[in-house]
Amino acid sequence: MSVQTSHSAENFAGRILGWYDRAARVLPWRIPPNSGHVPDPYRVWMAEIMLQQTTVAAVAGYFERFTARWPSVQHLAAADDADVMAAWAGLGYYARARNLLACARAVVRDHGGHFPDSEAGLRALPGIGDYTAAAVASIAFGRAAVVVDANIERVIARHRRITTPLPMAKREIRAALAPLVPNDRPGDFAQALMDLGATICTPRGPACVICPVMTDCMARARGDAESLPVKPPKKAKPHRHGLAYWIEEADRLWLVRRPDKGMLGGMRALPGGAWEDDPPAESGIARIDHSFTHFDLTLTLVRREVPLSAAEGEWWPLSDLDAAGLPTLYRKLTDKMREKDG
DNA sequence: GAGGCGTGGCG
DNA sequence: TCGCCAAGCCT
């Protein structure tokens, strides 16, 4: 991975790290630069999984709750699946939670409770891809890995003015970044580039005038930083419809668990039918709209008297629905019913 | 390589 | 309002 470091590369890393020393964001999972503290690989890993495609603001509370409740990988590995899934509810991309548990158990079972300290070792664990392996190797273990996330992609595509469209540009971006990675403080370097992308080299309206690497940024010189990186066009989202069943008895609600694969896999949910292209005939007692990554959904809530015999599920106290850990889609329905009934 | 996979915030 | 986007991974 690492390489001969040219004079200009040192200069780049130096300016990035100098800026980071002054401007690093204070985050619950982050060791402040030059504090002399040693990062806990478990916490670094936990944060990286939660931050996949998810904003810092959304993650903060979940990170605090998870690390308080399961302070080590051994604690997490011993947790009940249902508790972990419920605690993840609302954060999205639920395959991450299933892989989080699988990964914790693999670390305990196959690695004596210690995370592998190499990129390749980390990459072999469930839920850890190229980015996360490099990020944990670099931040937790000081390895000079080439960390490339969407922020860093944007920073490098602009600095080197790489106009090849994504995802083809990834190869060029990685090649451009590799010789810039310092052997000293590689973790801070990666976090610095991500902070830079999040606060200065932003997708829209980048604040080039205060950027620590403005002087040799090729896109800045050309005045087209905001147009980079070039991304492929998005596809239109279809609209779907579905039914959900409100089955209530003695102040309890009938909940099911969705299958492990597919949408909202492994999560508690209201029972219901398949999601289809056409709206249902019934008008129901409530209706909500929800937008997923690849389709929009209108869900109609219908009252039913008894559980379907074949459906496996559980009666849940209506007074404690929050603890069920329903995904946001179903939370919208239960919130609406709570409003109606007072 | 392309598509499946959540959610909330922001301009 | 609504499209875009956020520390991607898996198949």
A64-94: pLDDT as tens digits: 999 999 999 999 999 999 999 999 999 999 9
Chain C: positions less than 7 Å from a protein CB are: 3-10
Q: Is the CB of A156 under 7 A from strand C?
A: no
**Interval A160-208: pLDDT, tens:** 999 999 999 999 999 999 999 999 999 999 999 999 999 999 999 999 9
Structural domains in chain A, sorted by start: 7-227 (1.10.340.30), 239-341 (3.90.79.10)
Rounded-to-integer distance, Cα A74 and Cα A104, Å:
7
Place of tokens 């909500």: A288
Q: Has residue A1 got a pLDDT over 60?
A: no
Is any atom of nucleic acid chain C found less than 7 Å from the CB of residue A294?
no
- Tens of pLDDT, residue by residue over A210-224, are 999 999 999 999 999
Alpha-helix residue ranges (DSSP H) falling in A200-241: 218-222
pLDDT surpassing 90 at residue A305: no
The single residue of A48, A172, A226, A314 carrying the catalytic annotation is: A48
How many Å from the CA of A175 to C1' of C3?
32
Closest residue, CA to C1' of B6: A92
For A8-64, how does the pLDDT look when each residue is reduced to its tens digit (9 = 90+)?
666 999 999 999 999 999 999 999 999 999 999 999 999 999 999 999 999 999 999
B strand bases under 7 Å from protein CB: 1-9, 11
Residue A114 has pLDDT above 90, yes or no: yes
Please state, in angstroms and rounded to a whole number, the distance separating the CA atoms of residues A84 and A267.
Answer: 10
Spatial distance between the Cα atoms of A227 and A143, rounded to a whole number of angstroms:
32
Report d(CA A37, CA A42) in Å as an integer: 15
Could you tell me the CA-to-CA distances from A59 to A29, A48, A193 in Å, in that order?
10, 10, 19
> Is A48 annotated as catalytic?
yes
pLDDT band at A4 (very low <50, low <70, confident <90, very high): very low
How much is the pLDDT for A342? 56
Residue A235 approaches strand B within 7 Å at CB: yes
Render pLDDT for A234-253 as a digit per residue (tens, 0 to 9): 889 999 999 999 999 999 99
Question: Which nucleotide comes closest to A131 if you measure CA to C1'?
Answer: C8
| Alpha-carbon torsion angle A265, A271, A274, A278, nearest 10 | -130
Q: How far is the CA of A196 from the C1' of B9 (A)?
A: 19
CA A306 to C1' B2, in angstroms, rounded, equals: 42
A153 vs A197: CA distance, rounded Å: 9
- Pairing assessment for the beta strands A296-304 and A239-249 based on DSSP bridges: parallel
DSSP strands (E only) in A279-332: 286-291, 296-304, 313-317
Query: Coil, strand, or helix at residue A41?
Result: helix
Q: What is the pLDDT of residue A341?
A: 72
A283 contact to strand C (CB, 7 A limit): no
Question: Sorting pLDDT into bands at 50, 70 and 90, what band is A130?
Answer: very high
Chain A window 282-311, residues with Cβ within 7 A of nucleic strand B: 290-294
Q: Residue A3 has what pLDDT?
A: 43
CA of A92: nucleotide with nearest C1': B6
